[in-house]
Amino acid sequence: MLKLTVTDIRDAAPGVRQICLADKGALLPGFDAGAHIRIDVPDVGPREYSLINLDPKRATQDGVTSYDLGVRLEDDSTGGSVFMHALTPGAEVMCAPPRNDFPLAESPNPLLIAGGIGITPIATMAAYLAGQELPFDLHYSGREQGSLAFLDALKKFTGQKFAANHLTTHYDNTDTALDLGALLRTISPARDIYVCGPGGMIEATKAAAAQAGFDAGRVHFELFARATPKTGDVAFEVEIASTGDVHTIPADQSIIEALEAAGLDLMYDCQRGDCGICQTDVVSGIPDHRDVVLSDDEKSAGEVMQICVSRAKSERLVLDI
């Protein structure tokens, strides 16, 4: 674990803060575009935040002296963004070194799509590509004008002087709202798509890409937030097939959280429903899928589920654990 100090905090957009962390100028582990760090939030647990680099000339792979994060204060925060927004310069945080579950492949002219604070890994990809003088198209969507963080920095390496780097902004409350179906119909299905945003945007991108003839493997995605409990969520039971033990999953806990609290050792990573590492076979019962990993057909089949975010439509699930 790294012990880092908050060295700078700036407002990046309404409700979004750019937070800079460092260790007295010491060299910190490097990172590639798309990487995140996992911060240990006291009394809450680990929370992942993408690392931002907005300078195409800054090489980050071999080590850096600071990490920049962009954190939006979530209306339905489970504690992570509230903690991050309460930080002040000089505060200390513990975090794990960078890790990248959303790497940029070497493919020509990628299409980058960001929704809201999902811009953090996408902007870093754009800066990297600009630094390599590689073309890209970036579509950045938000609720309204003035809501898009880091827009001024993005404009410095896209547009007129950088003819190969296209930035298009979209605002939900205007006729510029992002129409993924229309966009992807104009894009060659040989290009790779990188999308980071809320679950609905990722699902819509996957669906529009499939309809436009993209192979599923061309769509790379990362959710920017953990799934939070929905109104109406209720407790249900999980039976462990290997032992017959039955555990109650409370309405405000995930299956992983409840089973770990009961002493089970489980394999997982993102806890957002986008990496697939926690996928578990369903022996019986009906899952309530809330991930972005499985296809619609796989969700309908109900044979596997992501136990970090998905819940149950039946009173009990029997899981192959």
Residue 268 CB, nearest approach to ligand FES (Å): 4
Contact status: 268 vs ligand FES (CB under 6 A): yes
Q: Which of 122, 193, 209, 278 binds ligand FES (CB under 6 A)?
A: 278
Asked if 24 and 5 touch (Cβ cutoff 8 Å), the reply is yes
Alpha-carbon separation of residue 190 from 86, 112, 187, 262 (angstroms) = 44, 14, 8, 47
Contact status: 277 vs ligand FES (CB under 6 A): yes
Contact status: 308 vs ligand FES (CB under 6 A): yes
Residue of 100, 112, 123 lying closest to 31 (CA atoms): 100
Q: Which stretch binds ligand FES (CB under 6 A): 15-23, 77-85, 225-233, 264-272?
A: 264-272
Distance, CA of 9 to CA of 52 (rounded, Å): 14
Residues 7-36 that bind ligand FES (CB under 6 A): none
Which residues lie closer than 8 Å to 199 by C-beta, 6 or more apart? 223, 227, 273, 290, 292
Contact status: 270 vs ligand FES (CB under 6 A): yes
Residue 36 CB, nearest approach to ligand FES (Å): 13
Contact status: 275 vs ligand FES (CB under 6 A): yes
Asked if 317 and 285 touch (Cβ cutoff 8 Å), the reply is yes
Beta bridge partners of 8: 20
Q: Which helix or strand (DSSP H or E) is residue 151 part of?
A: helix 151-155
Residue 275 CB, nearest approach to ligand FES (Å): 3
3-state secondary structure of 81: helix
Contact status: 291 vs ligand FES (CB under 6 A): yes
Q: Which helix or strand (DSSP H or E) is residue 194 part of?
A: strand 193-197
Residue 276 CB, nearest approach to ligand FES (Å): 5
- By CB under 6 A, how many residues form the interface with ligand FES? 14
**Alpha-helical runs (H) found in 161-221:** 180-185, 199-211
Q: Which stretch binds ligand FES (CB under 6 A): 32-40, 156-164, 185-193, 266-274?
A: 266-274
Distance, CA of 35 to CA of 99 (rounded, Å): 5
- Cβ distance to ligand FES smaller for residue 192 or 291: 291
Residues 221-250 that bind ligand FES (CB under 6 A): none
Q: Which of 269, 286, 288, 316 binds ligand FES (CB under 6 A)?
A: 269
Q: Which stretch binds ligand FES (CB under 6 A): 52-60, 165-173, 257-265, 269-277?
A: 269-277
Residue of 82, 97, 77, 83 lying closest to 23 (CA atoms): 97
Report the interface residues with ligand FES, using CB under 6 A. 268-271, 273-278, 291, 293, 306, 308
